[in-house]
A and B are shown apart, each in its own frame.
Chain A
């Protein structure tokens, strides 16, 4: 439970990442390719940014022993809000960004209030808000809509060397969240709420506020992901919700060593978890793996990787905390 422990599990994540990179690199080399060629590195990094934003946000709510299944819908909604507000006019870019993030924050606020105030289980609460957004999207938008001015499309396409700007922004967001979690009071409180809600409450943490904050930040991250989608598509698209970002982001968070039942984890690990999934994607692509076999491998590798560190992570003393009663979500 000490901070050394967090570093420990994050290290395992990056060791696993290095191992997967090594194996994938060798496999590609055997087939006469180069996994580290410019186009493959760019591919890998580009794949990290979208899921990265969503997973960073998801880390915050998972730390609080909540989860967010509405992220995919928020991404889709924000891509449309951003693109339709910008409407192809370069002077409206900021308006579009602000509108998209405001909507995202609003959804997060609703999620947070429903979970902490109405005591609805986060699974149902966020599934519910997700369905509400889906209904709105399906009714209002019958396909891609809105137009992103060329200037803003650079967010999706510009690169510094092999590194896409979106990846840099994602890492900056990760750094900000890292500071939040390790240097600020709300950050400490998130660990406390996830660790044991009752203890946190009794020690004077305003648990409701912490949960709401985590959900607002999570949705904001998804909102940024929506803007990235808009920049890459040049328009907004509702069908983004079918990309499976909800489950993928939770998988990335757990792959990154964050405990699904709250209280322990790190955003650095999450970035590692996202990178693992991106490396797999890239390697499968370069190796021309059958698309169905990809799913099988992804499933096996996710389970295997989590099994690898689950054994080291769960010391007997902490197991007790998995399903204590009385938590907001166990109500």
Chain B
């Protein structure tokens, strides 16, 4: 795996590149956590368990990739959790279990997602509202509007065909080994994101996060770059909504807190808040690490109430360790 391939704005030796970012640390952490899980419970290494892990991790990976685009360009997107919730509730209410409506509703969700991204992007870039505030406001608006529309609790149901992507796999026999469609979706998303970051758009995006003024002098329009990052983030939140809604159906709490999970995953992967540094793959590894950590807590039968504390310590320790590597 070429871990930091697309950061190579300057050609540095691969060893230095591997050691330069926080990504190396987080990859080591991921391997360590997985190893501990396997030692505790060897059945985790069985294909079926791994596929179940992949299925449940896929939405966070997709969200983290979306968040990566925004963060690397120097912004935040706090609205993704609310957007995931909104999209699932919209889908359930509009299709109400009717298979024939699956595709039209998916199309509508796509339009809605892009609209949210466009508003986030334009308010941040053209009205110059800090993205923290723009997307915080958007989070409140989506949270309230969707409940206003449904009278406080979701109504309707998702059609079976809508749920296939998040719930089913290939071959479709419950209880047998299967490759979840969610895994394929996540792989496609990550693959396309890697390609995109190697293209001029990706390079300019990272540059905009590093030094917006220099990019502006070079003739690129920074506002359109960042707006596209927000569009990508909202689009991928919509994809994640399809996966999460498919995985578990519609509940009142769907999507809550995912924005912090996604940002944490990205930062854990060594992507710098404030922009200009980090890779898509690193964001993905961050998401995997975070989910692996939750799996580890579960395998250790760690009391539920203690888990946040351990998570906090590991987060700080991992990021501090990565910062140490980078500076010395």
Contact = CB atoms under 8 A, between A and B. Distances in A.
A and B touch in the complex (CB under 8 A): yes
Interface of A: 114, 118-121, 123-125, 127-136, 138-139, 247, 250-251, 254, 260-261, 290, 292-300, 302-303, 306-307, 310-311, 314, 319-320, 322-325, 327, 329-331
A292 B311 contact: no
A293 B267 CA distance: 33
Contacts of A303: 123, 129, 133-134, 137-138
B123 A127 contact: no
B8 interface: no
B267 A123 contact: yes
Q: Interface SS of chain B: helix, strand, loop or mixed? A: helix
Interface of B: 74, 78, 123, 127-130, 132-134, 136-141, 143-145, 147-148, 152, 209-213, 260, 263-264, 267-268, 272-276, 303-313, 315-316, 319-320, 323-324, 326-327
Contacts of B133: 251, 254, 260, 302-303, 306
A302 B267 contact: no
A298 B127 contact: no
B309 A311 contact: no
Contacts of B123: 303, 307
Contact of A314 (B74, B128, B213): B128
Contacts of B315: 124, 127-128, 131
B267 A299 contact: no
13 contacts: A119-B323, A121-B267, A121-B272, A125-B316, A129-B316, A132-B309, A132-B312, A247-B78, A292-B143, A292-B148, A299-B140, A306-B133, A331-B327
Nearest to B141: A299
B307 A329 contact: no
Given A302-B140, A331-B326, A250 B306 contact: no
Contacts of B327: 119, 331
A306 B130 contact: yes
Contacts of B212: 319, 322-323
A136 B143 CA distance: 29
Nearest to A122: B273
A134 B260 CA distance: 15
B127 A323 contact: no
Given A139-B303, A299-B138, A299-B140, A120 B323 contact: yes
B316 A325 contact: no
Given A295-B141, A299-B140, A325-B276, A118 B320 contact: yes
Given A303-B123, A307-B123, A323 B274 contact: yes
A128 B130 contact: no
Contacts of B74: 322-323
A124 B140 contact: no
Contact of B148 (A121, A130, A131, A296): A296
Contact of B141 (A247, A290, A300, A310): A300
A325 B214 CA distance: 13
Nearest to B316: A128
B309 A131 contact: yes
Nearest to A131: B312
Given A136-B309, A331-B272, A325 B211 contact: yes
Given A131-B312, A295-B140, A298-B144, 10 more contacts: A114-B320, A121-B273, A123-B263, A128-B311, A260-B130, A290-B148, A303-B133, A306-B130, A330-B274, A331-B272
Contacts of A310: 127-130
A293 B147 CA distance: 9
A319 B222 CA distance: 13
B311 A293 contact: no
B293 to A, nearest CB: 12
A25 B128 CA distance: 30
Nearest to A132: B312
A327 B141 contact: no
Contacts of A128: 311-313, 315-316
B307 to A, nearest CB: 7
A292 B136 CA distance: 16
Contacts of B311: 128, 131, 135
Contact of B310 (A135, A138, A322, A323): A135
B274 A135 contact: no
A110 to B, nearest CB: 9
A135 B127 contact: no
A132 B144 CA distance: 30
Most buried by B among A260, A296, A298: A296
A256 B275 CA distance: 25
A138 B212 CA distance: 43
By CB atoms of chain A within 10 A, which of B210, B308, B326 has the most? Answer: B308
A131 B264 CA distance: 12
Contacts of B275: 323, 330
Contacts of A260: 130, 132-133
Contacts of A298: 137, 140, 144
